[in-house]
């Protein structure tokens, strides 16, 4: 048994040596393989951090854009509402103004017609007045002539009276002729 014992110890030693060698080889292999994995991991970690930062920035920008979109949408709706009210007011004012314009044109036409009639009447009245002024002027001239005749007759009458007071018939004949 000592032979077996010696053989088992030897086999055990050999097995332990193989396990140690395998462990060393596996450690070296994994260290070499994991070294590349560590470098790849560090590179991927940097890319991940950059991507995460970009994604965070993009999410923030997206949120800002969404807020801007909401604000723009609200402003657009408000602007459309204001435009609609402005159009309604414009249409109402336009219709009112158009009605007032039509009424004003009608009043102006009536006023023009009245003025034309008044002008015609004024021309007729002016013609009548001119005719009456001409007749009045002629009548005044006749009155003036008649007044001169009356004055001359009165003067002759006074002269005749003076001649009669003086009993001068010759004087009366000169006056009458």
Distance, CA of 14 to CA of 20 (rounded, Å): 10
Give residue 175's pLDDT.
65
Distance, CA of 96 to CA of 67 (rounded, Å): 43
3-state SS string for 110-134: HHHHHHHHHHHHHHHHHHHHHHHHH
Distance, CA of 25 to CA of 31 (rounded, Å): 10
Give residue 1's pLDDT.
43
| Residue 62, CA distances (Å) to 54, 73, 75, 89 in order | 12, 16, 19, 39
Distance, CA of 23 to CA of 16 (rounded, Å): 10
Residue 127: how many CB atoms within 10 A of its CB?
Answer: 10
The string of pLDDT tens digits covering residues 114-157 is 999 999 999 999 999 999 999 999 989 999 999 998 888 888 77
Give residue 22's pLDDT.
93
Q: Which residues of the chain have pLDDT under 50?
A: 1-3
**The whole model's pTM is what?**
0.40
State the greatest distance between any 2 C-alpha atoms of the chain, in Å, as a whole number.
Answer: 228
CA angle 33, 37, 40 (to 5 degrees): 140
Give residue 110's pLDDT.
92
SS3 helix, strand, coil % of the chain, rounded to 5?
95, 0, 5
């Amino acid at each position: 048994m000592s032979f077996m014992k010696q053989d088992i110890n030897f086999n055990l030693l050999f097995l332990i040596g193989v396990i140690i060698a395998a462990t060393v080889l596996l450690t070296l292999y994994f260290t070499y393989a994991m070294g590349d994995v560590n470098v790849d991991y560090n590179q991927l970690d940097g890319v991940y951090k950059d991507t995460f930062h970009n994604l965070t920035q993009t999410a923030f920008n997206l949120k800002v854009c969404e807020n801007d979109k909401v604000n723009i949408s609200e402003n657009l709706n408000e602007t459309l509402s204001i435009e609609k009210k402005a159009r309604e007011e414009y249409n109402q004012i336009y219709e009112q103004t158009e009605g007032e314009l039509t009424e004003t044109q009608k009043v102006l036409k009536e006023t023009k017609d009245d003025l034309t009639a008044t002008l015609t009447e004024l021309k007729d009245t002016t013609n009548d007045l001119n005719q009456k002024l001409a007749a009045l002027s002629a009548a005044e001239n006749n009155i003036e002539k008649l007044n001169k005749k009356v004055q001359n007759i009165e003067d002759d009458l006074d002269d005749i009276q003076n001649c009669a007071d003086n009993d001068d018939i010759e004087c009366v004949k000169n006056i009458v002729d």
